Amino acid sequence: MTDDVFKALADPTRRRILDELAERGGQSLFEICARLATKHGLGLSRQAISQHLAVLEAADLVRARREGRYKFHDLNTEPLETAVSRWLRTEAPGSTP
């Protein structure tokens, strides 16, 4: 599971999507596309952004919910916290607490 998280984070477009969802969750695909175009100058198609969202969902970094005809996306930080916590809990050899 951790490998999926790091593979998903390896792409700069996916990191920008996560940044946008961290700033304002509950966005539709249309809203994410518009924000990426206006704030970052990314002119990717909705299909391309949808594919990036699918990778982020597979890594559980993004959770989608349907409301009627619309699908909204939210950031899920739990996989990041899990991946990083193992290093933050472990003391380096020779370090003092």
Name the more confident of 6 and 95.
Answer: 6
How many domains are contained in the chain?
1
Question: pLDDT tens digit string along 9-68?
Answer: 999 999 999 999 999 999 999 999 999 999 999 989 999 999 999 999 999 999 999 999
User: Residue 31: inside a domain, yes or no?
Assistant: yes
**Cβ atoms of residues 45 and 86 within 8 Å:** no
Helix (H), strand (E) at residue 71:
strand 70-75
CATH (domain of 8): 1.10.10.10
Domain that includes residue 51, residue range: 2-85
